[in-house]
Chain A
Amino acid sequence: MAGLQKIFLVEDNAQILEIYTSTLNKFGYQLMTATTVDDALAKVAAFQPDIIFLDIMLPGGRSGLDALKILRTDPAYGCTTKKIVLLTNLGLNDKLQKAWDEYADGYVVKAEIVPHELIDIIRSFETN
């Protein structure tokens, strides 16, 4: 699979959003962002991303894990087979492990990477 171009970034932290947006834009990706689960679900079907970067800790009651399950199980959003990478700064726990095992294609500890590693992550899906 070459040329994953449409990136959907769900992140509530404005600074992180700025940094990641800036980085991805610099590499020429087509980008759509959302800051809550509701926001994301409202935009994602229309955008039809290749990859979704999904933060877990989100405001508004529903977490990124809720969104992950919905996107994977509800075909209405057209994301059941899309690449979804969880973004978190939380420690690994049972729920996260389960989400990773069942639904996620990637798992990123934001503090551990520098922004341009996002490109490595995207490219890891393009080559075998």
Chain B
Amino acid sequence: MIRLKVSQRVLLLLLATSLVPLAAVGLTWFRLSESSLKDSAASEQTILTSNAASSVNQFVADKINLLIIHSQTVSIRGYQANLANASADIQSLIKQDADIKNVALADQDGMERLSISQNGASATLANVSQSNAFRVATFLAGKEYISPVSYDNSHQPYITIAVPLVTYDSSQTSSNLSTDESGVIRSAGAIKGVLITQISLASLWRSVLSEHLGANGYAYVVDGQGNLIAYPDMAFLLAHRSLSTVPAVAAFIADPGAGAHPVATTSEKGVAVLSSYQQVPATGWGVVAEEPTGTIYASANRIANIGFILFGAMAAVVVAASYSFSRRFTRPLEQLAAGARLISGGQLDAHIDVQQHSEIGTLADTFNAMTANISSLIRRSQADSSKLNVILNNVGEGVVATDKTGTIVVANVAAAVLVGNLPKSIIGKPLTAHFGWTKGGQPFEPTLTKTSLYHNVTLISPNQRAHFLDVLVNHIENDPMGISTIFTMIDKTNERELESMKTDFVSMAAHELRTPMTTIRGYLDLILQDKDADLTNETKDHLLRIQANSRQLVGLINNLLSVSRIERGELTLHLDKVGWAQTVRQVVNDQLFMAKAKSVTLSYSGPVEPLYILADEIAITEVINNLVTNAINYTDGGGRVTVTVRDTPDGILTFVQDNGMGISTNDQAHLFTKFYRANGGLASGKPGTGLGLYISQAIARLHGGSISVASEEHKGSTFTISLPHIDLDHYNQIRRTAAPGILKGKHGWVTKNISR
């Protein structure tokens, strides 16, 4: 299937509609003119053959008449008496007619008495009694004789005409003289002799053969047997004597009288011709005319050729006009197409300039309006996009987005800087090729299917600098832009360095505080343990007070360190199976002494089962200890503190209930905040740092539980610790992965008894 352009189709259509009628008219005209040319050639031929036949006939008749007239002259009839007179008469006859080549006068026995040629010379006399001329002329009553055509040595045609010398009985008109009179019987003696003439046909043939038909038509003459007797080309005549097989000649032989209407046939030379013939009555010859049909139609063909040239010229004009028209018609379309190509190639400022007030012009205007709209939309979108880019590249957090395959599709400057690169250099690359995050020494493998925040992710940049990051991993479902995951990296390196300095400071501060406390407590212990020391009871009591206060001071330092670790997320638990009910009972027992000193009734109630939980025993003991201590501290003498452990389907609940001063609603809201102290804080005169509940809540939460409070001022408070049941799967997992050995933990020290 050939695909034509619109302009080519229009061109073809215009050519078809204009040239087809033109060609049809031309052909019809050509056919009509051919037919008329044929008619005209035929009528010309008929005239020619008729004229030629009649002129040949007239020629022969005239010669016979001339001879008959001369045969009747006194001098010729009296040749026997006076031959000289006869000779003179004959010579005048020769002079009178240029066609007469020779005249001979034979006597009744066939002996020539006179023979005079055209040039006046006398020829040799001969006995012609046996010649056709003499015998026909003297046969019966005598009759004029016409010989077939002969040719002399110089190829000049001639015929012999003989007329008998007879005496006419009745007068004849000179217009139609003949010796052959019907009804006249002559005796043999009535014929005195014969006048034999040789008549040149050269002039006759010249006139007959010089007749032309059209450009190449000609005439020739045949005798009754079809032998060629006159032909324009002598050489042809000499080579071809009989033409009886030529169709026109054969037709003449078959029917000499017919032939006036020219028919299409083949000539003696095998050429297609229009041919006709006409009989010469006097001699029985036929004049044949032939005109090559090619010649007849030559004029038509010539005109046809001119017609073709005109047709071609017109076609050229039509083509040119059609082309111009189709160009004019399709040019705007092509401009539109070119414009559309430019636009599809991204050149949105392309303007299609069609100078036409047609539908195409309107279409072009619509097109231009459309591209203007598109480019304005794109400009707006680009402006929006560059705004977003400016924002994206100026936020401090590194942002990287990947598709489903983990290929980076978006990266901002901050993200690229982290890996010592440019955003464009890492976009299109696999995330893992640039971001070799680690967490806890292991490759960082965040869950990509949900949104999570990961702390303490390490990324080593190409210059070997370690970056400590918080990585927020956002998963996006079915994003049309193909974004699957967004990683937002918050560089915490500086904070971490600060934190590290702070930790070091806190650690050093703790060290500096603890060391003197160690020696204070150490020497106190040495004194108190010395059985040989002679101490008064009072002194001993004072020393015990110093010991209790120093113990409290150590607890305070401990709490400060715990807060520091909670804040860094470094408070780690050494989880093991802990019998919670036993632990709580033990704490209550340990606090009975202090409660009694304050005249507070402390009691415990709980199940006999151990109620196992998975916990860091030291840490969780600290929690219940803290709550019980607080309850005693905030309850006046005579009050009650009740500790209850209860197993529920949702977990283990521990209530520490007092009927002390209670906590205001406002204070309850801030109770678990760091350094917050209820009831006026220091002004209340109650001991505490404002860290106990904060630390306890943090520890409870690390265990998957929580602490809540319900309180009413002047009525009392109830603190509730909620802890989950032991997760045996988790416990078994810990047992499998934990280092073998037994941990023996006490407050202040821990050992593991394992074989190394």
Instruction: List, in ascending order, chain A residues with CB within 8 A of B755's CB.
Output: 81
Q: How far is the CA of A112 from the CA of B749 in the complex (A)?
A: 8
A114 at the interface (CB under 8 A from B): yes
Closest chain-B Cβ to A127's Cβ sits at a distance in Å of 8
B529 interface residue (CB < 8 Å to A): yes
Contact A19 B514 (CB under 8 A): no
* Residue tally, chain B, CB below 8 Å to A: 42
Smallest Cβ-Cβ distance to B752: which chain A residue: A105
Task: Report the bound CA distance from A90 to B554 in whole Å.
Answer: 12
- For window 513-538 of B, CB contacts with A under 8 Å fall at 513-515, 517-519, 521-526, 529
B514 close to A15 (CB less than 8 A): no
Contact residues in A for B519 (Cβ distance below 8 Å): 13, 15-16, 19
Main SS class of interface, A = mixed
Tally of A interface residues using CB under 8 Å: 39
CB distance from A29 to the nearest CB of B (A): 15
B756 touches A81 (CB 8 A): yes
Cα A124 to Cα B743 with chains together (Å): 10
Known: A81-B756, A105-B753. A117 touches B517 (CB 8 A): no
Q: Map CB proximity to A onto B486-523 as digits: 1 under 8 Å, 0 otherwise.
A: 00000000000000000100111011011101110111
* CB neighbours of B356 from chain A (8 A): none
| Complex contacts, A124 vs chain B, CB 8 Å | 744, 751, 753
Q: Does B678 contact A (CB under 8 A)?
A: no
Q: How far is the CA of A121 from the CA of B748 in the complex (A)?
A: 11
Interface class of chain B by DSSP: helix
A89 CA to B557 CA, complexed, in Å:
10
Q: Check B754 for interface membership: any CB of A closer than 8 A.
A: yes
Q: Is the CB of B518 within 8 A of A111?
A: yes
Beyond A16-B519, A23-B526, A121-B751, is A112–B558 a contact (Cβ under 8 Å)?
yes
Residues from chain A with Cβ under 8 Å of B739 in the complex: 101
Q: Within the complex, which residue of B526, B565, B749 is in contact with A92, where a contact is CB–CB below 8 Å?
A: B565
Interface set, chain A 1-36, CB cutoff 8 A to B: 13, 15-16, 19-20, 22-23, 26
A85 and B514 within 8 A (CB):
no
Contact A128 B753 (CB under 8 A): yes
- Chain B residue with minimal CB distance to A81? B756
Please determine whether B753 and A91 come into contact, CB atoms closer than 8 angstroms. no
Residues of B within 8 A of A121 (CB): 749, 751
Contact A89 B522 (CB under 8 A): no
Bound CA span A16–B518, Å:
7
Contact flag A106-B564 (CB < 8 Å), given A16-B522, A111-B515: no
Name the CB-closest residue of B to A92.
B565
- Contacting pair A91 B561 (CB below 8 A): yes
Cβ of B24 under 8 Å from chain A: no
- Which chain A residues numbered 70 to 128 have a C-beta less than 8 Å away from chain B? 80-81, 85, 88-94, 97, 101, 105-117, 120-121, 124-125, 128
Cβ-closest chain B residue relative to A102: B739
A91 B507 Cβ-Cβ under 8 A: yes
> Is the beta-carbon distance between A111 and B517 smaller than 8 angstroms?
yes
Give the docked Cα–Cα distance between A101 and B743 (Å). 12
- For the complex, what is the distance from the CA of A73 to the CA of B754, rounded to whole Å? 17
A91/B515 in contact, CB under 8 A: no
Contact partner of A106 (CB less than 8 A), chosen from B503, B529, B554, B751, is B751
Contacting residue for B564 out of A91, A111, A114, A116, CB 8 A: A91
Q: By CB atoms of chain B within 10 A, which of A89, A110, A111, A117 has the most?
A: A111
Contact with A along B728-755 (1 / 0, CB 8 A): 0000000000010010101111111111
A114 to B49, CA, bound (A): 168
Contact partners of A19 in chain B: CB under 8 A: 519, 522-523, 525-526
CB distance from B568 to the nearest CB of A (A): 9
> Shortest CB–CB separation between residue B567 and chain A, in angstroms?
12
Whether A113 pairs with B748 at a CB distance below 8 angstroms is yes
Which A residues are CB-close (under 8 A) to B521? 111, 114
Q: Which residues of A have CB within 8 Å of B92? A: none
Most central of B526, B529, B557, B564 by chain A CB within 10 Å? B526
Decide yes or no: A115 and B525 within 8 Å by CB, A105-B754, A106-B749 being known contacts.
Answer: yes
Q: Given the complex of chains A and B, what is the CA–CA distance between A80 and B756 in angstroms? A: 7
Assess whether B664 is interfacial by the CB under 8 Å rule: no
For B518, the chain A residues whose CB sits under 8 A away are 13, 16, 89, 110-111
Bound form: Cα–Cα A80–B561 in Å: 32
B572 located at the interface, meaning its Cβ lies under 8 Å from any Cβ of chain A in the complex: yes
- Give every chain A residue within 8 A of B510 (Cβ-Cβ): 89-91
For B521, the closest partner residue in chain A by CB is: A114
Is the C-beta of A57 less than 8 angstroms from some C-beta in chain B?
yes
Q: Which of B697-746 contact A (CB under 8 A)?
A: 739, 742, 744, 746
In Å, the complex CA distance between A105 and B744 comes to 10
Q: Are B515 and A13 in contact (CB under 8 A)?
A: yes
Mark each residue of chain B from 559 to 571: 1 if its CB lies under 8 Å from any CB of chain A, else 0: 0010011000010
- Minimum CB–CB distance for B746 against chain A, Å: 7
Give the residues in chain A near B503, CB-CB below 8 Å: 91, 93
CA distance A97 to B573 in the complex (A): 12
Report B-chain residues with C-beta under 8 Å of the C-beta of A80: 756
Cα distance A110–B561 when bound, in Å? 15
Which residues of A have CB within 8 Å of B749?
A: 106-109, 112-113, 117, 120-121
Is the beta-carbon distance between A125 and B751 smaller than 8 angstroms? yes
A115 to B523, CA, bound (A): 9
- CB of A102 to closest CB in B, whole Å: 9
B515 touches A105 (CB 8 A): no
Q: How many angstroms between the C-alpha atoms of A58 and B618 in the bound complex?
A: 28
Contacts of B754 in A (CB 8 A): 105
Determine the chain B residues whose CB is within 8 A of the CB of A112 once the complex forms.
554, 558, 747-749
User: Are A91 and B506 in contact, with the CB atoms below 8 A?
Assistant: yes
Cα separation A92 to B562 with both chains bound (whole Å): 9
**A19-B523, A92-B565 are known contacts. Are A109 and B748 too (CB-CB below 8 A)?**
yes
Give the distance in Å from the alpha carbon of A97 to the alpha carbon of B744 in the complex: 16
The A-contacting residues of B in range 460-477, CB under 8 angstroms, are none
* A113 CA to B745 CA, complexed, in Å: 12
Q: Do B748 and A57 touch across chains, with their CB atoms under 8 A apart?
A: no
What is the CA–CA distance of A127 and B507 in the complex, to the nearest angstrom?
A: 33
Q: Which of B514, B525, B739, B751 has the most CB of A within 10 A?
A: B751
* A35 CB, min distance to chain B CBs, angstroms: 15
Residues of B with C-beta under 8 A to A109:
514, 558, 748-749
For the complex, what is the distance from the CA of A95 to the CA of B469, rounded to whole Å?
21
Chain B residues 396-454 with CB under 8 Å of chain A are none
Q: Are B525 and A106 in contact (CB under 8 A)?
A: no
Chain A positions within 8 Å of B, measured between CB atoms, are 13, 15-16, 19-20, 22-23, 26, 57, 80-81, 85, 88-94, 97, 101, 105-117, 120-121, 124-125, 128
Sort A-B residue pairs by CB-CB distance and give the 7 closest, nearest first. Answer: A112-B748, A111-B514, A19-B522, A89-B514, A106-B751, A114-B525, A91-B507
16 example contacts (A-B, Cβ-Cβ < 8 A) are as follows A15-B522, A16-B515, A19-B522, A22-B526, A91-B561, A91-B564, A91-B565, A97-B572, A105-B756, A106-B751, A111-B513, A111-B518, A112-B748, A114-B524, A114-B547, A116-B525
Q: A20-B522, A108-B748 are in contact. List 6 more A-B contacts (CB 8 A).
A: A16-B515, A16-B518, A81-B755, A106-B752, A110-B515, A111-B554
